[in-house]
Amino acid sequence: MQLMKVNIYYGGRGLLEDPALYVMDKLTEVLEELRVEVHRYNLYEEKNGIAMLPATLKEVDGIVLATTVEWFGIGGYMSQFLDACWLYGDKEKIASLYMLPVVMATTYGERDGELALCKAWEMLGGIPMNGLAAYVEEHIEFENNPVYRDIIEKKAEMLYRSIRQKIKNLPSSTNAVIQTVQRGSGIELTPQESEQLSIYVSDDTYVKKQKEDIEELAQLFKNRLGEAGSDKKEGEFISALRKHFHPVSSYRAVFSIQFTDTGKTLIIEINGEELKCYYGTHPKPDVAARTVRDIMESITNGRITFKRAFMEGSLSAKGDFELSRSFDTVFQFN
């Protein structure tokens, strides 16, 4: 007869006073007396490889999910393990696995924790059992109570009989929901593909490289979109200058406006009624200004004048200030 195998997945922190440790030890003791091979996984020790743990469900007949409610809920490690089972676990294998929940609480919430484990395992398609849930105020008294010890031992025997006799549960509405949820869960992967994916997810180097590649691509597209938007907006500056140009026959000036956020420089050459606007450099501009593109956009949209931007300090300028003050006369954006 093939040896029965049971895995215990512990989601607590491994503290000495954790009553869940005592319960797991008693379960292991009884199961091993019944010639069951028991293996325990402490999730806090396996935290970097939790995504690969669903692969350990392959060769077992049943499992124990044990955790401790210290303040609220079943804890992060257990949640990660159940998430990994949903993402990478072999659902066909899980469907045949009996699960005994063990939830010990040092605060309120042991029944909620047990219900959460049962619902999660049921959603995965597995077979949940009535488990062990208790509030433990003093772990020494709990461990020395013979009545509690008998209850734990009987639960271990119940798990053994359920697996051996393949005891069935009554149908649940959750089973009807599972099919709908799983159909919309994304790309369908074989158990082998899911297992391989879980290995990649657990590989910190691989994940880091993937994140770096994604960030690099995102930055590349962001830069391209930014450049396209900048070119369009800066082209609109030239159009706005030409549209709102009011020539003065005796007025001659060269403005150089450097955009500090893009590194580009707009050159405006005015010679009476002639206007030239382009991006580049000029050896001797009459007025050399520095600002950001948003301020220039405000000027060309008429929200602020060139003079006001200079007075407020959002635009700096040096050179012929008489010509600088005439900018709002030659270009009337209001």
| pLDDT 10s digits, 48-64 | 899 999 999 998 999 99
CATH topology of domain 232-330: Nonspecific Lipid-transfer Protein; Chain A (3.30.1050)
Nearest to 60, CA basis, from 117, 10, 4: 4
Q: Is the pLDDT of residue 180 over 80?
A: no
Nearest to 156, CA basis, from 287, 38, 42: 38
pLDDT per position as a tens digit, 263-296: 899 999 999 999 999 999 999 999 999 999 999 9
For the domain made up of 4-202, the CATH class stated in words is alpha beta
Beta strand pairing status for 98-105 and 132-135? parallel
Joined together, the tokens standing for residue 95 give: 């469907």
Q: What separation in angstroms does the CA of 293 have from each of 40, 232, 242, 266, 267? A: 62, 12, 18, 10, 14
The per-residue pLDDT for 234 is: 60
CA distance 104 to 65: 11
Q: Name the band, by pLDDT with cuts 50, 70 and 90, for residue 76.
A: very high
Joined together, the tokens standing for residue 325 give: 């003050």
CA distance 169 to 147: 28
User: What predicted TM-score, i.e. pTM, was given to this entire model?
Assistant: 0.60
Strands (E) located in 62-205 = 62-69, 98-105, 127-128, 132-135
CA distance 145 to 134: 13
pLDDT per position as a tens digit, 140-178: 999 999 999 999 999 999 999 999 999 988 877 766 666
CA distance 305 to 298: 8
Where along the chain do its domains lie?
4-202, 232-330
